[in-house]
Amino acid sequence: MRFEKLEIAIAGAGIGGLSLAAMLASRGAKVVIYDQMAAPQPVGSGFVLQPTGATVLSHMGLLDKAAARGAVINRMHGKLAGSNRTVLEIGYGKARHGIAIQRVALFDILLKAAVSAGVTFETSSKAVDMTGGERPTIVLEGGRVTPPADLAIDGMGANSPIGHIASKELGYGALWATVPWPEDGPFHPHELEQRYFRASRMAGVLPVGTARDGASKMATFFWSLRNQDIDAWRNSGRDVWIAEVAKMWPETVPFAEIAEPVHARYRHHTRKPIAGRRLLRIGDAWHATSPQLGQGANMALLDAASLITALERSATIEDALDLHLRQRRLHIWLYQTLSLVMTPFYQSDSKILPVIRDIAIAPTTQLPLMRQLISRLVTGEFLDPVKRIGFDQRVD
């Protein structure tokens, strides 16, 4: 398929939308991104760019820029609060690692790539619906309809209003804050460290590098919280929270003292990827989960890359969409299922599941074969999604 003849409309300037737009435009397509913000801007804190997502960025020529701003992550290490007992230890293996990066840093890199490739942005343009057909359109708030395109993409995340159906909001969310990284502090510069109290409380520290060249190094500090308790948390005041933090993980008190946390809610759903004729969902608009397996941004990058290879290999858009879904469905199904099963062991009100986690699951993960399997699951490489989308041998 000739990209020079394609006109693509994308709703949402998130990681999936920006990466897809940049790859399409760099191949000659005419791409317009419609975003509700007055200016494109990121939402969220830090995350780990896994080898899967890193491969996509590598083919875009952006991995070196991301690595320069991020922090190398070699291990994920979780302990029980108070006892110092390890119940989660996952390494990447030889010559493998993740890159922890601030969302604002990756957003900046992708935005510049999209602008450089010729992507057009329509800001203050909130999509509320889409109309499918040979030439689909996006309906914006206020009734304005976008010019017809060859393909329209919903990249607006888990709360997308396009063909909205009720999805399950998980009982637990989290407080997220970006704080200065303590160079001489007690935290490992190449690890995601976590502490657990049963499954009802989880805290974590992740080094996430710099937001921009020359900026100070930062960390992401997160604290799980039931969504129904957020108002009580706000009303009780910072001192009460700091006391709770001190009891669970004293070394993180300096983070709590200066944090300006944002409350994040999570949903679990797998919507139909095709919302209408030539209307496609990508990223969390298609498949949303809790952050326990850390795959959200990486999955969005894989979705974008998969659509690119499908378009390259197909004669029609319909054929491309069929191929894209074949390339992505099994991998998405696996991680949606794993997230649904595993999340209650780490974030729930259950008193039994965390005991099973600590007594049965944790020791099992230390067995050599299980360590290798768990590592591939956490890095997103199980079922080899990069090979499935045809990015394993590509040199762009």
Domains along the chain with CATH numbers: 3-167+267-388 (3.50.50.60)
Whole-number Å distance between alpha carbons of 344 and 224 = 13
pLDDT above 90: residue 198: yes
Whole-number Å distance between alpha carbons of 119 and 33 = 7
Mean pLDDT of 73-90: 90
Q: Which residues contact 4 (CB under 8 A, 6 or more apart)?
A: 28, 29
When pLDDT is cut at 50, 70 and 90, the band that residue 214 belongs to is: confident
* Per-residue confidence (pLDDT) for residue 165, from 0 to 100: 64
* pLDDT tens per residue across span 288-340: 999 887 899 999 999 999 999 999 999 999 999 999 999 999 999 999 999 99
When pLDDT is cut at 50, 70 and 90, the band that residue 362 belongs to is: confident
SS3 352: coil
Angle (CA) 100-104-108 rounded to 5° is 110
Which tokens belong to 196?
A: 């657990």
Whole-number Å distance between alpha carbons of 13 and 257 = 33
Which of 117-121, 333-337, 338-342, 353-357 is modeled with the greatest confidence?
Answer: 117-121
Q: What's the burial of 10, exposed, middle or buried (CB within 10 Å: 0-12/13-18/19+)?
A: buried
* Per-residue confidence (pLDDT) for residue 1, from 0 to 100: 87
* pLDDT tens per residue across span 235-282: 999 999 999 999 999 999 999 999 999 999 998 999 999 999 999 999
CA 126 to chain centre: 22
Q: Which of 90-104, 135-149, 368-382 shows the lowest mean pLDDT across its residues?
A: 368-382
* pLDDT tens per residue across span 125-179: 999 999 999 999 999 999 999 999 999 999 999 999 987 666 678 999 999 999 9
When pLDDT is cut at 50, 70 and 90, the band that residue 124 belongs to is: very high
* pLDDT tens per residue across span 2-61: 999 999 999 999 999 999 999 999 999 999 999 999 887 777 789 999 999 999 999 999
* Per-residue confidence (pLDDT) for residue 166, from 0 to 100: 60
pLDDT above 80: residue 395: no
* Per-residue confidence (pLDDT) for residue 44, from 0 to 100: 73
Q: Which of 347, 197, 329, 337 is nearest to 266 (CA)?
A: 347
pLDDT above 60: residue 394: no
Mean pLDDT of 381-388: 92
* Per-residue confidence (pLDDT) for residue 186, from 0 to 100: 95
**DSSP-derived secondary structure for 268-288:** EEE--SEEETTEEE-GGGTEE
